[in-house]
Structure 1
């Protein structure tokens, strides 16, 4: 009985499980169909929306293509219209030219007729004048014959006597005039010469002497001055004797002054002092040793500078003595301008100018480099530097074109080649460059200062800077006082003021800068 009951329970349980499984399958199938239907509906909706979006994109693209077509068409029409306009302008100019040519042809025909008429009239008048001249000659001949009969001498003899008397009278007057001029010159020459020399010395003598004859040697401390002077001044006397330079030890802190007309000697003294102070052993024997060694170094440096300059400029075949002279230019200045830099500038300018004129640029560059070699003589001479340089160039085998250009660049001799005026012009260009020489530098700096001061005369200007060698003026204004519109107006007013009140080469660009700044500090 119990077995039957357990079996029934098991069977009932199994039946229940089967029924539950069936129900679960039915429910899952129903749910899956719903999900599929929902997915189908979603897919169909998305397909419909995609179709709608595609249609809208298609319409947009069509519209864009139409607009682009219209734009291209309008541009093409504009190009065609512009070409037609150009063609019409050309045709109009051709018609105007034809009408002008026809009018000129008519004028030429009229002028030819007038010229023919005038030529005929001129021929008639010329014949008439020739007849009159023949008559006048006959009358003059009869008068001369009558005068010869009356005076008893011929016309040629009378002319010779008159010319001789006039010559004697002219010689007498000329000698008297020359004698008066010579006496006056003798009386006033010495006085005028003294006046010129005194004026020259008072104006530029002191400045030029200090500028070109003095070098300053800086010291680490004033204690070194005593060691340079030495016991009873024996060290400083030894330095002056070995270098030929006067050494001035005064109250100037941490510096002594080297004074000498020869810049090479000053450089030898400066380097010798530097070596002695660095080494610390300063006594007469050591001084002589260091000075001799420094002189050799300076001579070697002069040769190296000359060789490097010649190589940089591409000049070949220059005599070693001329190369050495070129190197000595490094230690020489002319009116505050370094002579070697000036000669290099002149050489490059001469080469460019000769190229433009169709001449040999190498010859011009050679003459430009050597044009001032007479300014660095080894010994004193009374010749002008141009003639001395020409003599050196001839001595060391330079060509006649180069020698003539060197000697004639200050008009001491006649210019015989085209290279001479080129060197003369380029020498003047290099010396006149703004800032190259002292006289030009002063006026150049004053012009820049005048430009800046002119800008400060306007309201709202905070700062002003003259840049680009005075070709541009930059003006900084206060943003609270000058707005953008006034900035443009200010730029125009300053440019007009410069144009009306100042004299300047080329053009001056006026730039007005206005800025607003907001500054805060995070603490």
Structure 2
């Protein structure tokens, strides 16, 4: 039994020793593999570093060779440059000596040929060279002036075209007809009134023809006088808006339209100032400018012409480097005198300059106004630009129409001629001059006298006026009696 136990113990010890040996071998094998891997990694890293060092060394050697080659090239270039400088110096000395020799020979030859001394020949030579240089210089100056003139003309054309292209003003001229839109066809009947009394009262009061056409929701107001037509348009617009039209309301609306003319002038003047970009204008001039909205020159609205001229002048001044604000202001006010040209003596340029001076405008602005028709010499480039801008605005296609101005003058002359007859209180030329309506004072002309006056005026018109067709003369005598009950 004891022996069996000992045997078992010995076997167990042997197995344990065997296991320990196997474990030790396994550990040793793992350590050996790890050591081999580390050794390989170290060897690979060392090999890479050696290769990198070799590549750097090769690049360094190549760079060193390039630097050596560059240095040799620089040395060769320096030697070549020294040789060229030396050659140029030698050539310069040779040429200077040759020039001096030739000059001396030329001077001696000139002196020999002319029988003069060297000093005299030198003086003649200098005079000849000077004259030749002067001639060539004069020719060059003419060439430069011609080229400069051509260039200036091209630039001026470009500036003017650019200034004109910036404008988008309408091309229609002032007409003698104003359209008033109506809310419905039924409003035409109210305007005409029973037996035409409303339209007769309106035309007699305003001096404007009312033309009613079928199929159009509008009526025309026809009159050569734009002020009458504007007041009539305001009057009729107020009546149409109210809807109640009768002779008494026509008179009330007409009175309001006449009373509101000053405010309409002021509003138009302020709108024009804003459109032109001008500020700091006295109230007196603003009101005057507003009056110009009803003035026209050969069919062109004067206030619109002022705005357009100021915009064109500002563009030109900016392009040529002139004072833009002075130019803009002078151009905007240049036709200011047209508001009073029919009331004061003198040209509209002189009247406008006087008004501007009295209002405290600068000397350049006053001169630009006074000289825009060359009545006085322009004193600045700004005044010349105002002349140019005025001509551009007036000459663009469709801006003006001479027959409108002549037509207005003919109608005014006809009314003035008829008004000179005794007993006439108002004369109104209507229907493009084919009809004259004459309102007489009822206390001076009786019913029988109206017929005689109509025949007299018709005879006088036939003798004094050479007009195509017929002119109908209508004499109106209206007697009213007012009383107040209280």
Scaled by the length of structure 1, what TM-score is found? 0.40
Scaled by the length of structure 2, what TM-score is found? 0.42
Tell me which protein shows more helix as a share of its residues. Answer: 1
Highest RCO, 1 vs 2 (Cα 8 Å, sep ≥ 6): 2
